[in-house]
Amino acid sequence: MANGSNQKRALIAKLDQLPPKRMAEVEDFVDFLASKVHRRAGKALLEGVARATKAGSKPMSMDEVQAEIRAYRDERQHAACQ
């Protein structure tokens, strides 16, 4: 299959040939696909929370979550510089 850039150009060329009604259908389908991805991500997140709760993990505050993210990013950046 074509690389991402060529694939996008080919898709745009096809979209340019569609009548407005069909474009609206394509847009609806793209929105559906995006929501499907978000639902899967949300489901995975909730499953992770359920496993952590079942294991007895204490919920983290948003400040704690942000601190964990910062620490991970700092560690990753430090490793990249080595």
Residue with the bigger pLDDT between 54 and 16: it is: 16
Q: Would you state the pLDDT for residue 2?
A: 52
Distance, CA of 38 to CA of 17 (rounded, Å)? 30
Written in H, E and C, the secondary structure of the chain is CCCHHHHHHHHHHHHHCCCHHHHHHHHHHHHHHHHHHHHHHHHHHHHHHHHHHHCCCCCCCHHHHHHHHHHHHHHHHHHHHC
- Across residues 1-21, what is the average pLDDT? 88
Distance, CA of 60 to CA of 58 (rounded, Å)? 6
pTM score? 0.46
